[in-house]
Structure 1
Amino acid sequence: TKNDPTQLQKQTLFTSNETAGNVYRIPALLYERESKTLFAFAEQRKTSDDASGEKLVMRTGKIKEGSSKKTWSELKEVEKALIKGYRPMNPCSVYGKVNNKLFLFFICVEDAITEMYQKENCDNRTRLCFITSEDLGETWSDVIDLTDELSEIKNWSTFAVGPGHGIPAESGRLIIPVYAYTSFCCKPCFLPNSKSYALSLYSGSHGKNWKFGELFNTVSVECEIVEISKDHIYCNARNVGGYQVEAVSDDNGVKFNNLQPGNNRTSKSSSPCTPGEKDEGRRSKSTLLSPNTDTSVLLITSLQSAWPPTSMSASSMGLLSSVMIRTVR
């Protein structure tokens, strides 16, 4: 209805201008319910090329009580999300409810080094970093670099977080989606068995210490997660050929099991619903906010039953046949 606060409206938050050297890619969106605040992050690049990344930027939106109207702040650089000689990529945020702290995870990749170079040469030049804010993104902490604290990273060709958002589980655990390219660290190591697998990064200490979960047993790349019930975490990840991997963890995000064991490519991407379609009334309370590649953000809400899948571009991520999708710009 007209006054329904759940109704979504499109609004452009990041406008690219390649001529001016400002291109925005890899958006991420997080909603904090208590303060009714939306956090939107993106990479700012010189061009659409991954290696031209310069910094992370953000905008915050306030939702007015009893309406769907949002007031957005001006775009600003997340100045603390930076390591000298590296470019920040793949923003992925989560809000810790216990300590009222906003965590912004991202990777830092050595300047001019591409993902392909790292995979072909088994030369990991990527670092795992995060910053925190206790005032809803107004100010940020210095960078915390977890790379040397997590031994698994040295066995990967490269890796990334999300992109998108993590979740504060009902148990209090903070969980961040990750994907990693495994290798035998030989040269060249870009072999058929050097593939990407999703996994989780989690903290049971409200962000003080972090651990990796187990790698998926199915090829999987960019991913999003949502808690469907206590200790049960659902993950939706890109596979290949326009397919998505669906997996569920029953141990609070440590190990995920494929919903269709033995099938390497599970669900074909589905086409988005438009606002007002019949399936809208069957939404659950859980949502996935997942970026696609054309700098918009997809709000994905689980349905009680699936609709027939249809073909969709393989460049879209976070879509599958059992969700309703809306675009938030």
Structure 2
Amino acid sequence: MKKCFKFVIMTALALAFSLQSVNAQSILEKNTVFAANTEGIRSYRIPGMVVTTKGTVLAYCEARKNNSSDWGEIEVHLRRSTDGGKTWELQKKIAHTGVRFEGNPTKKKDGETEQTVNNPVAIVNRQTGNIHMLYCINYSRCFSMRSNDDGITWSKPVDITATFEPFRMKYDWNVIATGPGHGIQLKSGRLVVPIWLAYGKPGEHKPSASATIYSDDHGKTWKAGEMPLPNEGEMGNPNETMITELSDGSVMLVNRNVSKANRKLITISPDGATNWTKPYFHQQLWEPICMASIVSHPSNLGTLIYSAPHTLGLDAAKKEIPAGRGKRENLSIKLSRDDGKTWPLSKTLEAGPSAYSDLAVLSDGTILCLYEGKDVISLARFNLDWLNEK
């Protein structure tokens, strides 16, 4: 009787899996989230995105009012979606609506009247349901705020610039920046945010180095981690960094840099703050001198999704020449099933001009990519079936 029952159960599971495979459908949908020259904003850049514990998608970016420069009158704008990124609520300014901190060191005329609110990074606290948002002002001060209602309202910002002071022991920085993109919460509950800093002249973004800051008390206080990506040896000016937790609980950084290797830098830590491995250049992750994004996927342990421009030259046989940097176009999605050791699959998401991007995953496994295109920041919704489809 038990054998018969077991046979029935196994048959039912096999049938269910078979039906699921038959019903599997490739999905790729796109819509515009932020468009240039709307809402009094000249351009939108530096996208970031998270999915809250309630399934709300929060898409945010820098709203550059007068031009596309990294310095200038810049705000942080956010839009919410409660249907998985299919439709969006009206955008609103969310960061630093109070006392202004003006001063643009790169602009001789009228620079003193500009406030650059830059590099927003959100982290979802899955233990409390809160969303934390870190951002910087004029690349010299860092603030943290919190939302208890899925991104509808935000708390008064708290200045956490002192968190960066320990980094001065190695680099006397003039510029600090979080992210960009999103931070993560580890299984331990720790919140971790990648940061970069520059220690050249005021207003200059190099020379630079990268590290992380972290919180073990749900964002009340923040601490500086070790410096895993110093500006040393072949590591040319490490800066914008993305982060993900691997299947064994360790933390991996994927770092933008300017080096002869023209590859992303990788380093791994057991806790996101200390004991980082020696950084190495990943031969399958080419460096177009552009931010990339990475996120884990719940389908299987070790599954990672990666997004970045991919434009290597081709030889006479139309095969890629694994050298050079390429351009900011042909945004592509890569897939790894071994915690980022190898990336055997790559597929074009946006063939035209495309640059910064950020990734997130819905509870049903749908992958979201918020990315810069020509004069817009768009959202792409796709699934693993689309990614695996030839």
- 1:90 aligned onto 2:119: yes
Partner of residue 344 from structure 2, selected from 307, 319, 325: 307
In the other structure, the counterpart of 2:191 is 174
Residue 156 of structure 1 aligns to a residue whose secondary structure is coil
Any stretches of 5+ residues in structure 2 without a counterpart?
1-20, 103-114, 289-298, 311-326, 359-366, 371-378, 380-390
Q: CA deviation at 1:170?
A: 0.5
TM, length-normalised to structure 1: 0.71
* Contact 2:48/2:120 (8 A) holds in 1: yes
Q: Aligned partners of 1:128, 1:54: CA distance in 2, in Å?
A: 15
Q: CA deviation at 1:151?
A: 2.0
Show structure 1 runs of 4+ deviating over 3 A. Answer: 1-8, 18-21, 79-83, 187-191, 263-267, 281-305, 307-310, 315-319, 325-328
Partner of residue 229 from structure 1, selected from 247, 251, 257: 247
In the other structure, the counterpart of 1:140 is 154
Q: CA deviation at 1:301?
A: 5.0
Question: Which stretch of the first structure deviates more once superposed, 211-220 or 74-83?
Answer: 74-83
Question: Residues 126-153 of structure 1, C-alpha deviation per residue, up to 9 Å, x if partnerless?
Answer: 1011211000111110111111354236
TM, length-normalised to structure 2: 0.61
* CA 298–210 in structure 1, closer or farther in 2 if over 3 Å, else same: farther
Residue 87 of structure 2 aligns to a residue whose secondary structure is strand
Map residues 1-329 of structure 1 onto 2, 5 A cutoff: 7-17=27-37, 21-32=41-52, 34-45=53-64, 46-63=66-83, 70-80=86-96, 83-84=99-100, 85=102, 86-109=115-138, 126-152=140-166, 155-182=172-199, 195-215=207-227, 216-217=229-230, 218=235, 219-240=237-258, 242-260=262-280, 267-269=285-287, 284-287=302-305, 301-304=335-338, 305-307=342-344, 316=355, 327-328=369-370, 329=379
* Contact 1:53/1:89 (8 A) holds in 2: no
Question: Residues 88-134 of structure 1, C-alpha deviation per residue, up to 9 Å, x if partnerless?
Answer: 1111110112222101111101xxxxxxxxxxxxxxx6101121100
The one-letter amino acid paired with 1:38 is: V
* CA 208–5 in structure 1, closer or farther in 2 if over 3 Å, else same: farther
* CA 149–239 in structure 1, closer or farther in 2 if over 3 Å, else same: closer
* Contact 2:48/2:357 (8 A) holds in 1: no
* Contact 1:38/1:61 (8 A) holds in 2: yes
* Contact 1:161/1:177 (8 A) holds in 2: yes
The one-letter amino acid paired with 1:72 is: W
Q: Aligned partners of 1:296, 1:99: CA distance in 2, in Å?
A: 38
Q: Aligned partners of 1:286, 1:231: CA distance in 2, in Å?
A: 14
Q: Aligned partners of 2:202, 2:54: CA distance in 1, in Å?
A: 50
* Contact 1:243/1:269 (8 A) holds in 2: yes
Any stretches of 5+ residues in structure 1 without a counterpart?
110-124, 271-280, 320-324
* Contact 2:190/2:216 (8 A) holds in 1: yes
In the other structure, the counterpart of 2:315 is none
| Identical columns (%) | 25
* Contact 1:27/1:43 (8 A) holds in 2: yes
Q: Aligned partners of 1:232, 1:177: CA distance in 2, in Å?
A: 15
Residue 151 of structure 1 aligns to a residue whose secondary structure is helix
Residue 51 of structure 1 aligns to a residue whose secondary structure is coil
Q: CA deviation at 1:14?
A: 0.4
* Contact 2:163/2:223 (8 A) holds in 1: no
Q: CA deviation at 1:247?
A: 1.3
The one-letter amino acid paired with 1:133 is: S
The one-letter amino acid paired with 1:156 is: W
Question: Which stretch of the first structure deviates more once superposed, 195-204 or 78-87?
Answer: 78-87
Q: CA deviation at 1:214?
A: 1.4
Q: CA deviation at 1:171?
A: 0.6
* Contact 2:46/2:356 (8 A) holds in 1: no
Q: Aligned partners of 1:8, 1:159: CA distance in 2, in Å?
A: 37
Q: How many residues align?
A: 286
